[in-house]
Amino acid sequence: MGRIKMDKRSDLKNHVYEVIHTRIIHGIYEPGSMIYEQTLTQELGISRTPVREALNKIEQEGFIRIMPKKGVMVKEITVADMGEIFQVREELEPVIVRLAGPYLSREELLAFKEQFDNEPEQWGEMLGADELPLDTRFHLYIIENCHNSFFMDFMKKIFDRNTQLVIFSKQHKLNSYDARPEHLEIIQHLLEGNYNQASEVMKRHVIQNRNQLIGRLLHYHIS
């Protein structure tokens, strides 16, 4: 009986975690904004315990700062944070493309190609409250097929922060950089089995994206 209660408590904590985590990633709780335990408990109709447990976990992941008697603040996105995210991506994603290449579905790649190619006005937009931008979904598709569980777990954490950054940049119009040609070039190399060339384009793409976003984030903070 106790085990069943523990499972239910764990499920509730995980549910609360997913709700808060998703809202942070998708910019519903923007960087610098405050989250209040009492508001969450009332909204979700639950006690404070699972809310606190979820918030503690999210704080350990680096997304928030819990301030006793004040509330919970969503951490600002800094240029240093961005630099660290892109440093990891620049080193690992080219390797991951080579690893994933042989396992990627031709049908999936062609579907991504069609979306990038035929719907340019929507390529980076949100399609729903819980859905990721197309460019993020493309990168995650490659990561999820690299057949290395350590890379997959690590990069999914990196992409949580990266997705928060991407959505924040779109909400505040910080990113006018059109990466569609690079994504299409990567897809074409993958379709042709040119995994080393796909890796080279991926590295160039990550560097270009980093340079564009850092410049615009600096301008945003200064202005």
Reported confidence tier of residue 165, pLDDT bands at 50, 70, 90:
confident
For residue 9, what pLDDT is reported?
65
Question: Is 80 exceeded by the pLDDT of residue 217?
Answer: no
pLDDT band for 68, please (50, 70, 90 cuts). confident
State the Cα–Cα distance between residues 85 and 96, nearest whole angstrom: 16
Q: What value does the mean pLDDT take over residues 175-185?
A: 85
Task: Please answer whether residues 110 and 151 qualify as being in contact, where contact means their C-beta atoms are separated by less than 8 angstroms.
Answer: no
Residue 212 has pLDDT above 80, yes or no: yes
What are the CB-based long-range contacts (under 8 Å, 24+) for 72-78?
A: 72/34, 72/35, 72/36, 72/37, 73/32, 73/33, 73/34, 73/35, 74/24, 74/29, 74/30, 74/31, 74/32, 74/33, 74/34, 74/35, 75/31, 76/31, 76/32, 77/31, 77/164, 77/165, 77/168, 77/217
Question: Can you tell me whether residue 179 is helix, strand or coil?
Answer: coil
Q: What is the reported pLDDT for 119?
A: 62
pLDDT at 123: 43
**What was the pLDDT predicted at 127?**
45
Instruction: Tell me which DSSP letter residue 122 carries.
Output: G
Residue type (1 letter), 1 = M
pLDDT at site 4: 36
Residue 74 dihedral angles phi and psi, to the nearest 5°: -75, 125
Give which of 162, 193, 165, 160 is closest to 60, Cα–Cα.
160
Give the count of alpha carbons within 13 A of 90, CB side only.
13
Residue range 45-73: average pLDDT? Answer: 93
Confidence of residue 3 (pLDDT cuts 50, 70, 90): very low
For residue 130, what pLDDT is reported? 56
DSSP H or E run through 54: helix 48-60
Residue with the bigger pLDDT between 174 and 126: it is 174
Identify whether the C-beta of residue 169 lies closer than 8 Å to the C-beta of residue 213: yes
pLDDT band at 133 (very low <50, low <70, confident <90, very high): confident
pLDDT at residue 2, as a whole number:
38
Rounded to the nearest integer, the mean pLDDT of the chain is 86
